[in-house]
Structure 1
């Protein structure tokens, strides 16, 4: 089976966004450039961790290589919705990050989830997984190369998108549903 590498080096726009109402949102990474539009689905926790790890990567690049870290563009933040149509190319299984010292850019790679997921029970199962598992190079991927300034803007938007969900319950921290919330702190009773 052939795989596709959707490379945007650099993209015109690269953002994290959602489709759907809070509590039922689907999260996407979307890259646009050269007349192409690619959207890949991922989990909310992946978006949150991506923003966190990108911040750590920029800090490390500054510490080790002296890369200038610009502030996020506060004047005109990208709050626009995802470009349409939002057609899911694949669901992200693995995210990879790198810093290219030669070009002073951040490389983000979103790799499709494998076709089969097998629970590991013992050494026999581990050997079976190695034979059946698709090699990483045979999976679709989205590769984006960003400047440190564009990376900062992506981080800020990703954090806003994650925070825009349902507010947490002040007692248990679980998301509040518009239809009601059975808080474990109240032993299942409404107040």
Structure 2
């Protein structure tokens, strides 16, 4: 079976977004460029971890290579919805990150979930020497995006806003609160 690599180096737009109401949202990464729009589905926790690990990658790149870090962008936020139609190309199983020192760019690779893949992974690389022995993933579709540090910062900011826009967390257990409340495990199943 042949696989497709959807490469955007760089994209016109790369964002995390959702479709649906809080509590029933589907999360997507969406890349647009060259007349193409590719949307891949993933879990909320993957979006949250991706933003966190990208922040760590930028900090490490700054520390190790002296890359100037862009500040958080308070103005000019991309608050536009995902481009429609949102057609899921594949569901993400693994996310890979790398920093290319030569071009001073961040490379994000979203790899399709393989058959029977039970858990999600976030693989990190801190330079452009990716592990070439990962042959089992070679037959899986992937989305590859190359971003400047500024575009990466914008992606991080939006991803955090998208994750935070869901249901508020319970102050005791951290699980999402439904509009009708929930049975908190910290209360051992009892309401106060």
Q: Same fold (TM over 0.5)?
A: yes
C-alpha RMSD over aligned residues:
1.7
Q: Which runs of 5+ in 1 are unaligned?
A: 120-133
- The residue aligned with 2:148 is 147
Runs (5+) with no aligned partner, structure 2: 120-134
Deviation at residue 173 of structure 1 after TM alignment: 2.2
Structure possessing the higher radius of gyration over alpha carbons: 1
Alignment of 1:2-151 (within 5 A): 2-117=2-117, 135-151=136-152
CA distance in 2, matches of 1:173, 1:116: 29
TM-score (norm 2): 0.87
- Count of aligned positions: 177
4+ residue runs over 6 A deviation: none
Measured at CA, do residues 117 and 51 of structure 1 come closer, stay the same or move farther in structure 2, by a change above 3 Å?
A: closer
| 1:183 lines up with 2:180 in the alignment | no
Q: Structure 1 residues 155 and 117 mapped into 2: Cα distance closer, same or farther (>3 Å)? A: closer
Deviation at 1:135, TM superposition (A): 1.9
Q: Which moved more, 1:47-56 or 1:176-185?
A: 176-185
Deviation, 1:190, is 4.1
Q: TM-score, normalised on structure 1?
A: 0.87
- What displacement does 1:168 show? 1.3
SS of the residue 1:59 aligns to: helix
Number of the residue aligned with 2:159: 158
Higher helix proportion (structure 1 or 2): 1
**Helix, strand or coil for the counterpart of 2:109?**
strand
Once the two structures are superposed, what CA deviation does each residue of 1:115-151 show, in whole Å capped at 9, x if it has no partner?
23479xxxxxxxxxxxxxx821110000000000000
State the Cα distance separating 1:73 from its structure 2 match: 2.3
